[in-house]
Amino acid sequence: MAEDKNKVWHKALELDELPEGRVKPVTCEWVTVCMAHFKGQYSALDNKCPHQGGPLGEGSIENGWLRCPWHEWDYDPLD
């Protein structure tokens, strides 16, 4: 597998800063992402809801779905 020299990794948070089943907005450099911790996995998603740009990092995980706080649209938190 070839290494992509354009990728840059940034430390977003300490693992204990994000409890299981929670989301949190995190800013790395100039980009804010929605960090999610669900089913023992961590993921980083665009913090803007595709529906109307709501802040997903201020949402919640409900019944296994990441719920936007503005209009309650749901997304897979690990996608």
Q: Are 46 and 26 in contact (CB under 8 A)?
A: no
Rounded Cα distance between 56 and 47, Å, is: 5
pLDDT in tens, 34-50: 999 999 999 999 999 99
| 74-75 β-sheet, strand order | 60-62, 65-67, 74-75
Q: How many other C-beta atoms can be found within 10 angstroms of the C-beta atom of residue 28?
A: 15
Fold of 21-75: Rieske Iron-sulfur Protein (2.102.10)
Question: What pLDDT band is residue 4 in, cutting at 50, 70 and 90?
Answer: confident
Looking at residue 9, what is its pLDDT?
83
pLDDT in tens, 20-29: 999 999 998 8
Look up the pTM and report it: 0.83
Rounded Cα distance between 64 and 53, Å, is: 21
pLDDT value at 8 more than 90:
no
Domain boundaries in the chain? 21-75
